Amino acid sequence: MSSTIPTLGFAILSVLARADSTGYEIAGRMRNPVARFWTASHSQIHTDLRRLLAAGLVGYTTAPGPGPQEKKIYSITGEGLEALREWVTEPPRPQPERDELVLKTYAAWLADPAALSEMFRTALRGHEKRLAEYEAAWASMEKEAPAFGTPRFGNMAALRCGLTYERHRADWCRWMIDQLSRSLKPSCDASYPSEE
């Protein structure tokens, strides 16, 4: 009967369940470290917000905005909260895994090892940077473990996943770099004098 809500709709509701926001702010919140697992452009968020509005899951109040249009501050409704609660415990549909770096790895045997090594070094830097971010956020959270039933529990749990994910990725990149360096100099071992 009801038009099915796409996953992004629930992502929006998850943000609104924490704080009333404009469409613009929702996009911004999704870019923050603990909520980086779902992103969308503001244009899509706006269109999805209209759908949620039509379904009665969100409402809004207006305020004077900076641009020509008025600013709309959205909030989740009772039905919205109920729909979100129900959705949360439904088993997630199996998602097709698509990972460009791993695909490149699958075809890596065809390419130049030195260039590959460079690519993985770049990837590694990215993961290390994120890991540092996550670890800082984790440290500030661990001091007092947030109780279930408070939004900070969600923050911590999602962050924990991001943290161990980045660790796994960084480890894998290091492993790759090591493997590639072995194929670059398969002769004997590291007894080269490293002059120049």
Partner DNA sequence: GACCTCATGTAATGCGTTACATGATTTC
Partner DNA sequence: GAAATCATGTAACGCATTACATGAGGTC
Q: For binding to DNA (CB under 7 A), which residues are involved?
A: 4, 6-8, 22-25, 28, 39-44, 46-47, 49, 65-72, 96, 98
Compare residues 17 and 53 and give the one whose CB is closer to a second copy: 17
- For tokens 């924990």, the residue is 160
Compare residues 59 and 146 and give the one whose CB is closer to DNA: 59
Residue 128: burial class (beta carbons within 10 Å; 0-12, 13-18, 19+): middle
CA distance 143 to 176: 35
Compare residues 97 and 196 and give the one whose CB is closer to a second copy: 97
Residue 68 interacting entry, from a second copy, DNA, none, C-beta within 5 to 8 Å by type: DNA
Does 78 bind a second copy (CB under 8 A)? Our answer is no
- Strand pairing class (58-63; 71-76): antiparallel
- Amino acid making up residue 13: L
C-alpha distances out from residue 156 to 21, 118, 143, Å: 22, 34, 12
Does 195 bind a second copy (CB under 8 A)? Our answer is no
Asked if residue 193 lies in contact with residue 129, where contact means CB atoms within 8 angstroms, the answer is: no
Q: Three-state DSSP class for 6?
A: coil
Q: Hey, which residues between 14 and 53 contact a second copy (CB under 8 A)? A: 14, 17, 34-40
CA distance 185 to 91: 48
Q: How far is the CB of 176 from DNA (least distance, A)?
A: 24
Q: Three-state DSSP class for 15?
A: helix
Q: How far is the CB of 121 from a second copy (least distance, A)?
A: 10
- For tokens 């990725």, the residue is 169
CA distance 88 to 148: 15
Compare residues 32 and 150 and give the one whose CB is closer to DNA: 32
Residue 10 interacting entry, from a second copy, DNA, none, C-beta within 5 to 8 Å by type: a second copy
Residue 46 interacting entry, from DNA, a second copy, none, C-beta within 5 to 8 Å by type: DNA
Q: Which stretch binds a second copy (CB under 8 A): 53-61, 67-75, 131-139, 165-173?
A: 165-173
Q: Which stretch binds a second copy (CB under 8 A): 44-52, 57-65, 161-169, 187-195?
A: 161-169
